Every structure is written in structure tokens, then in C-alpha cells.
């Protein structure tokens, strides 16, 4: 499927395979020696005329480009988008007309605050940027996994980013918001209240890029071929559901495997378990703009799905890893201003400001105005205009004419009429005085933060209180801590009191919100739950019950789970009946935090160390609320750590019953009720 993709065909022209080739310089001259520089005598000085040395060294010296100022740590994949039904009624966008057309896409996921080499399972928003290579040009949906944003006006973006990045006097902490300047920003820019609820929730520590939602955040416009507009918000919904890690687990993963999320995405695609996301749209008619108790242009507000349903219109499948991370993932240049006819902007002041920033950043990051010619950024349709020259220009524009209007080239390239596909901006009527002000309708910062809080399950609420307690526990300035407590007393007294107590602040006695509404779609508990692609650490020692273990492993695989064998040493593990298993991990390389669930088996020849390691493995997984299954020796271990009758712990002698119950427990993702008892 991936090879029938027009973008893939285009990229093929630029790919090269150096295997089994002779080495040359960049100018094509064959190189005869690549270990020793040219010297005047074996022990003499290196000579300037060694062109191979000069070229190799110069290229190396220039191999790095500036990392992205935000979203530096990212990982990407290719794929395709297919539409379920024509959206003609709402938009004339070509790729949203015909369900039989597949549109190539490139998606880059990222953390926001950390640098390019930082760990991935950090507490942060995740970028979810999609480039659709449509026949009418590139359309970029540059979103996050969080539905709202910290600020309402792009003018504040540099302040926000300065506050969350490592503090400038000591460059600490890396990839974390748990420090004074971030929380000082929050307390003094209270429009951040809603998004901070999301970043303190489980949403900010996703289990996988494959298991997180994506949001375009802003209100955009769909415009149809009659020139009629509708306001629209975009959603990506992962087919596997939205699921998260536990904070303690996430912190440990960052040490054990800083590449946890990219590894998961890469391996899934290599294994053919292609990540899938459905595209949803929320649509509001132009004349219903003022029907809500919030301003639909305010990017700190979401449109509750229960009030404005998400219409699912298509599906994106990521089916191919990149060939070269630098050429593709690092050089891809997204821009929310890359739109196609039928998709237009709204007056959201954050969006308007973004329209400036993205080209500007690519100019410094990619070194000049021709980054659109890089293979990953090229549209799959032709492009013609009078823009010329600049660093690293690749296109060879023929002819003397590079201006419009002209007669020498019959006035071409000429602008296209609307009928010919020319982009015409939606003719919204705008009038007003030039002012620097926040609209009255943007001034309620707490109602939707309270809506979010009200919509959480008990376990999710507990995690949010713990997250605030952790983050503010790392803040050194007591006045900043108290300001945040007082700020969140406006959202929920239960919340503010919960963390105020943990961080030794004055406990607010009054406040709270009068919002009682909930939006069930905001709770991850209501997200789809499936056993598919869930990893199971199978703890096996020599002397295991061969036929039983093999049948359980194959039954788990049949139901979509992915068992991996963990033992004391790598190599073959022998069953009592001659059965053999190959260990994928040892206790040294396969920690419990790297798996979704545990199947404890053991065997007749369990050493003291194996026993100790297994108990630790099981207890750690248990504390992270993971499903645990056990047969034979494993059942004794459950008793030893007194968890046999806990929720999500499955054991038994009837293989079929055991597999059914264990798969059900795996599908639940986590058994939070363990934390609540
Ligand atoms: Fe941004 C990158 C998403 C507000 C300025 N942003 C960037 C990326 C994502 C987002 C996913 C990484 C793209 C990639 O993978 O290459 N940004 C958002 C969302 C926002 C948002 C969802 C709010 C709704 N951003 C925002 C504002 C500004 C920027 C208000 C500035 C006015 N963003 C940038 C940037 C970056 C960027 C500095 C850094 C690297 C890049 O653009 O290409 O221009």
C-alpha cells in the first residue's frame, strides 16, 4: 500500500543507497584512501591539498542545524488519509471530497519543552503535526494532544516558552515544567488555568503516540463551493483509545528507555501494527457563533463534545517509517498557514500570530527561503511563481521573465481564478478600532478548567492532585506556591485544598466554581479499551510447564497481545516437557515499567535471584496498576506479596478461563481501583 503513494514516489527520486558502491567525494571523484590524511612524510604535517580531508571535515563541521525552539524532540512517520464520506456540503477542499482518494500524509509527534536529546515520557503536551500532501498543495494541521492552549494571544508565546524552558541562569530543569518560572508564569497569566489542568492530568504522560488524541486547537473555517462558511475544530481519535502512564512509571522509563515513545511507534510500524487515528470535526454554523457561554475564538476554550458532536469523517494510517531522520523528520517544516481552498482561518489571535512565526523559524532553522524544495516539504502538485534564488536553490527556472505582470511570457505564471482552484480568502466583514486589549468574552479563565475537573474519574482527580503536588513541591518560592493554590481555589476547592496540604501552603477555605457541568468525553476512562498490541512480560524459568505456557502465549497472541519472554539470562529456556522458549529480555534489560502487563509463570528451577527479581517485577507492576496474570509458581508469588485477590490480578488452572479473564484485564489498561482502596 505504501508504495502506491504519490509522495513516496516523489521521495524515491531523492533516495540513494550507498551499499556496494565505490566511495567518491561530493563532486564525484573516486576516493582511494579514507583512513589516513595526506602528509608530507609518514610522520609529517597534513597537507592543505588533501581535498578529501577538507571536504569530509568541513561537511562534518556543519552537520547540525538549530533545533526547534519548541518541539525539538520529535519522531515522525509516513502514512495515508482516507475519507469516509464527502464533506462537499461544508468544504471544497479537494482531499475532503472523494472517499476513494487516498492522501499521503507525514506526521511528526513531539514533546514541547525538552531539547532534541531529552527523554520522551516527560510531563508535557505532545505535538501532533500532520502534513497532508494534497493535489491542491500541502495542508498542515499543526496540533497538540491537548485540546486548548496556555495563552490567548501569540504575543505572549515567547514569555510562555521562556518560562517553561530550563531557567537561564543554570539551564535546569530539562524537559520539565516543575520549576519556579513556569509556575510563576501560570499564577500571573491565569488564562493558562485550563490548559494546566490538562498538563497536570494523565493526558500529559501518554502511554504511546499511538494512544493519544490530537487536536487542531484553534477554530478554523470550512468554506464550500457556494462560498458558505462554517466554523470547524479538528480532532484525531486514536483507534486504540487514549491511555496514559503512571507518573512514577514515566519517571523510571525516562531512565530505562529515554526513547520509549519513538521506539514504540517505530516497532509498531515495522511489525505491521499500523497506528490509526480517525479524523473528527466539530462544526458550528456562522450564525451560531454567539450561542455559547464562551467565545468560540478563544483557544483556551474547547467545544464540549456533548454540545457540539464530533463527526468522524476519515481515518489516517501510519504505515511507513522514515528512511532518514535528519532528511525527513528534522527538515520537515510545518506551518498552520499552509492551507488549501476550502479551509480558512478564524480571528483567533493565537492562530493569527502563529501564521507569522512558523515561516520565520524555518528561515533560521533550515537556513534560507528554499526549504519548500527539500524533498519532505515539496508538494506533490507542481508549483510555479516568480520567487527566485536564495541559499541552496534547487529549481532551475528557465527563461528571462521572473515578474508579474509581463507580456514576454504571455503574463504567466498567472493567478488562477476561483473556478480554476485559486485560493480566495473568506470575505468576513471586519470592522473595529485598533486596540491592544483582551476581549471581554475572553475573560473567564476558570469555568472550563472546572468543567475539566468535574469530568474526571476519581482516579484521574487523584492523579491531578498528585501532579500539582509534585510540580509545586519542586518550586522553591513559597509565594509562587501560594499564588497557584489561590488561583486553583477558583477552579475547585477540593483540588486546591488537596495539593495545598501536600506542599505546606495555607489551605483555602472559600472559593470553588459554580460550574457543575461535566463532559464525559474528557475522561480517558470513557475512551476505547482494547488488548491489541499490549505487551506482556512473561516471567519464565527453566522447568516451566511447556504445553500450558505455549498454549497461553499463543492464545494471548491470537487476541492481539504481544507476549515477550523475560528470564534470568538470554538464550534458550527449557520446559519440563522438552518445550523451549527464547528469552527476549533479562531482568537487567526488561524492567516492569517497559511492559503493559505481567504474566508470571516461573518454573521448577527458579533460582533465589530469579525469585527475588520476579517479586520486585510484580510488585512494581502492581503499584502501577498493571494487569497481572499468574499460573503455577507465579501464583505463589502473588500470595507472597499479598495481591492474589486484588483488582486486575488473574490466576487459575483453567487455561481458557484464565486467558479470557487476563485479556479482559489487559484491555482495561490499568486497574486504578487499587489506588483508591
Ligand atoms: Fe507552535 C512548532 C503546535 C502555538 C510557534 N508548534 C510547533 C509544533 C507543533 C506546534 C506541533 C512542531 C511541529 C513539528 O513537528 O515540526 N503551536 C502548536 C499548537 C499551538 C502552538 C497546537 C497552539 C494552539 N506555536 C504556537 C504559537 C507560536 C508557535 C502561539 C508563536 C507565535 N511552534 C512555533 C514555532 C515552531 C512551533 C516556534 C518551532 C519549530 C517550528 O515552529 O517549526 O514557530
Whole-number Å distance between alpha carbons of 176 and 180: 11
Whole-number Å distance between alpha carbons of 495 and 491: 8
Q: What confidence tens digit (pLDDT) does each residue in 360-404 have? A: 999 999 999 999 999 999 999 999 999 999 999 999 999 999 999
Q: Which three cell numbers stand for residue 272?
A: 505491521
Does 320 belong to an annotated binding site?
no
Supply the pLDDT for residue 1.
42
Distance 70 CA to ligand 1 centre (A): 7
Backbone φ/ψ region at 134: left (φ over 0), alpha (ψ -120 to 50), beta: beta
- Are the C-beta atoms of 566 and 603 separated by less than 8 Å? no
Whole-number Å distance between alpha carbons of 315 and 332: 22
Closest residue by CA, ligand 1 atom 15: 108
Supply the pLDDT for residue 2.
39
- Residue 33 burial (CB count, 10 A): 11
CA distances for 565 relative to 149, 224, 557, 606, angstroms: 42, 55, 13, 15
Q: Which residues contact residue 136 at a Cβ distance below 8 angstroms, ignoring those fewer than 6 apart?
A: 93, 94, 95, 340, 341, 381, 421
Confidence of residue 4 (pLDDT cuts 50, 70, 90): confident
Averaged pLDDT for residues 275-279: 98
> Catalytic residue among 5, 8, 138, 144, which?
144
Averaged pLDDT for residues 253-270: 98
Report all structural domains of the chain as residue ranges with CATH numbers, in order of start.
74-373 (2.40.180.10), 448-525 (1.20.1370.20), 529-676 (3.40.50.880)
Going by their DSSP bridges, the two strands 562-567 and 585-586 should be labelled as: parallel
Averaged pLDDT for residues 329-349: 98
Probe ligand 1: pick from 105, 110, 142, max atoms within 8 Å of CB? 142
Distance 157 CA to ligand 1 centre (A): 10
Annotated active-site residue 319? The verdict is no
Q: Which atom of ligand 1 is closest in space to residue 72's alpha carbon?
A: 40
- Are the C-beta atoms of 198 and 148 separated by less than 8 Å? yes
Distance 3 CA to ligand 1 centre (A): 31
Distance 568 CA to ligand 1 centre (A): 46
H/E segment holding residue 59: helix 51-61
Confidence of residue 675 (pLDDT cuts 50, 70, 90): confident
Nearest to 347 by CA among 432, 252, 444: 432
Closest residue by CA, ligand 1 atom 4: 354
Length of the chain: 677
Q: What confidence tens digit (pLDDT) does each residue in 80-139 have? A: 999 999 999 999 999 999 999 999 999 999 999 999 999 999 999 999 999 999 999 999
Q: Is 515 in the pocket of ligand 1 (CB under 6 A)?
A: no
Supply the pLDDT for residue 676.
67
Q: What percent of the chain has pLDDT over 90?
A: 98
> Catalytic residue among 8, 71, 194, 335, which?
71
Q: Which residues contact residue 344 at a Cβ distance below 8 angstroms, ignoring those fewer than 6 apart?
A: 220, 221, 222, 223, 229, 425, 426
Q: Which atom of ligand 1 is closest in space to residue 144's alpha carbon?
A: 22
ipTM tops the 0.95 cut: yes
Probe ligand 1: pick from 194, 218, 302, 357, max atoms within 8 Å of CB? 357
With a cut of 90, say whether residue 653 has pLDDT above it: no
Annotated active-site residue 651? The verdict is no
- Are the C-beta atoms of 167 and 120 separated by less than 8 Å? no
Averaged pLDDT for residues 458-485: 98
With a cut of 50, say whether residue 206 has pLDDT above it: yes
With a cut of 60, say whether residue 539 has pLDDT above it: yes
Average pLDDT, the chain: 97
Q: Which three cell numbers stand for residue 224?
A: 464550500
C-alpha dihedral, 476 to 477 to 482 to 484, nearest 10°: -70
Q: Is the dihedral of CA 157, 159, 162, 164 positive or negative?
A: negative
Q: What confidence tens digit (pLDDT) does each residue in 548-592 have? A: 999 999 999 999 999 999 999 999 999 988 999 999 999 999 999
Supply the pLDDT for residue 3.
42
Q: Which three cell numbers stand for residue 203?
A: 493526558
With a cut of 90, say whether residue 677 has pLDDT above it: no
Supply the pLDDT for residue 20.
96
Distance 246 CA to ligand 1 centre (A): 27
**519: helix, coil or strand?**
coil
**R_g of the chain computed on alpha carbons:** 28
Whole-number Å distance between alpha carbons of 268 and 212: 15
Q: Which atom of ligand 1 is closest in space to residue 358's alpha carbon?
A: 44
Nearest to 92 by CA among 547, 560, 424: 424
Amino acid at each position: 500500500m505504501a508504495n502506491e503513494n504519490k509522495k513516496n514516489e516523489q521521495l524515491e527520486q531523492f533516495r540513494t543507497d550507498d551499499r556496494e558502491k565505490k566511495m567518491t567525494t561530493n563532486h564525484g571523484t573516486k576516493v582511494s584512501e579514507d583512513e589516513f590524511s595526506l602528509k608530507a612524510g609518514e610522520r609529517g604535517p597534513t597537507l592543505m591539498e588533501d581535498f578529501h580531508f577538507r571536504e569530509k571535515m568541513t561537511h562534518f563541521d556543519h552537520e547540525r542545524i538549530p533545533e526547534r525552539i519548541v518541539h525539538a524532540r520529535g519522531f515522525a512517520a509516513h502514512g495515508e488519509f482516507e475519507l469516509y464520506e464527502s464533506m462537499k456540503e461544508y468544504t471544497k477542499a479537494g482531499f475532503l471530497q472523494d472517499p476513494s482518494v487516498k492522501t499521503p500524509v507525514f506526521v511528526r509527534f513531539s514533546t514541547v519543552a525538552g531539547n532534541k536529546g531529552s527523554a520522551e515520557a516527560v510531563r508535557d503536551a505532545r505535538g501532533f503535526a500532520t502534513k497532508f500532501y494534497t493535489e491542491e498543495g500541502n495542508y498542515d494541521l499543526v496540533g497538540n494532544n491537548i485540546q486548548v492552549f496556555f495563552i490567548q494571544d501569540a504575543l505572549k508565546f515567547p514569555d510562555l516558552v521562556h518560562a517553561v524552558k530550563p531557567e537561564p541562569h543554570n539551564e535546569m530543569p530539562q524537559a520539565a515544567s516543575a520549576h519556579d518560572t513556569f509556575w510563576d508564569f501560570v499564577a500571573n497569566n491565569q488564562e493558562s488555568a485550563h490548559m494546566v489542568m490538562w498538563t497536570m492530568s494523565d493526558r500529559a504522560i501518554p502511554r504511546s503516540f499511538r494512544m493519544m488524541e490530537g487536536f487542531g486547537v484553534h477554530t478554523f473555517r470550512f468554506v464550500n463551493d457556494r462560498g458558505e462558511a462554517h466554523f470547524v475544530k479538528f480532532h484525531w481519535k486514536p483507534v486504540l483509545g487514549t491511555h496514559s502512564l503512571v507518573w512514577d512509571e514515566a519517571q523510571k522509563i525516562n531512565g530505562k528507555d529515554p526513547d520509549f515513545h519513538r521506539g514504540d511507534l517505530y516497532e509498531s510500524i515495522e511489525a505491521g501494527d499500523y497506528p490509526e487515528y480517525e479524523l473528527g470535526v466539530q462544526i458550528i454554523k456562522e450564525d451560531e457563533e454567539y450561542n455559547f457561554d464562551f467565545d468560540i475564538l478563544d483557544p483556551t476554550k474547547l467545544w464540549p463534545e456533548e454540545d457540539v458532536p464530533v463527526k468522524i469523517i476519515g481515518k489516517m494510517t501510519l504505515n511507513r517509517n522514515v528512511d532518514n531522520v535528519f532528511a525527513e523528520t528534522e527538515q520537515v517544516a510545518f506551518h498552520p498557514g499552509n492551507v488549501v481552498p476550502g479551509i480558512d482561518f478564524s480571528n483567533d489571535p493565537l492562530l493569527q500570530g502563529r501564521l507569522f512565526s512558523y515561516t520565520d523559524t524555518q528561515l533560521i532553522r533550515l537556513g534560507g527561503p528554499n526549504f519548500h524544495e527539500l524533498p519532505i516539504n515539496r508538494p506533490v502538485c507542481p508549483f510555479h511563481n516568480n520567487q527566485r534564488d536564495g541559499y541552496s536553490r534547487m529549481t532551475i527556472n528557465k527563461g528571462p521573465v521572473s515578474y508579474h505582470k509581463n507580456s514576454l511570457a504571455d503574463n504567466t505564471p498567472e493567478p488562477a481564478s476561483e473556478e480554476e482552484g485559486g485560493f480566495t480568502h473568506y470575505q468576513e466583514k471586519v470592522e473595529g478600532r485598533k486596540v491592544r486589549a483582551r476581549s471581554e468574552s475572553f475573560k473567564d479563565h476558570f469555568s472550563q478548567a472546572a468543567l475539566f475537573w468535574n469530568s474526571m474519574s476519581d482516579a484521574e482527580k487523584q492523579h491531578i492532585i498528585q501532579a500539582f503536588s509534585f510540580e509545586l513541591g519542586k518550586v522553591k518560592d513559597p509565594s509562587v506556591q501560594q499564588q497557584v493554590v489561590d488561583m486553583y481555589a477558583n477552579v475547585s476547592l477540593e483540588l486546591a485544598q488537596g495539593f495545598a496540604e501536600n506542599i505546606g501552603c495555607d489551605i483555602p477555605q472559600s472559593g470553588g466554581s459554580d460550574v457543575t457541568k461535566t463532559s464525559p468525553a474528557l475522561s480517558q476512562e470513557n475512551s476505547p479499551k482494547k488488548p491489541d498490541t499490549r505487551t506482556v512480560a512473561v516471567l519464565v524459568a527453566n522447568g516451566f510447564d511447556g504445553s500450558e505456557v505455549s498454549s497461553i502465549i499463543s492464545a494471548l497472541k491470537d487476541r492481539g497481545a504481544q507476549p515477550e519472554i523475560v528470564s534470568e539470562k538470554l538464550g534458550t529456556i527449557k520446559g519440563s516437557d522438552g518445550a523451549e522458549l527464547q528469552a527476549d529480555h533479562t531482568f537487567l534489560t526488561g524492567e516492569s515499567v517497559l511492559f503493559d502487563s505481567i504474566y508470571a509463570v516461573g518454573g521448577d528451577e527458579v533460582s533465589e535471584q530469579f525469585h527475588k527479581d520476579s517479586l520486585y517485577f510484580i510488585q512494581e507492576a502492581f503499584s502501577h496498576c498493571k494487569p497481572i496474570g499468574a499460573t503455577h509458581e507465579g501464583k505463589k508469588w502473588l500470595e507472597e506479596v499479598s495481591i492474589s485477590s486484588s483488582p486486575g490480578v488473574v490466576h487459575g488452572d483453567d487455561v481458557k478461563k484464565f486467558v479470557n479473564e487476563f485479556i479482559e484485564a489487559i484491555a482495561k489498561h490499568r486497574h486504578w481501583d487499587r489506588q483508591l482502596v
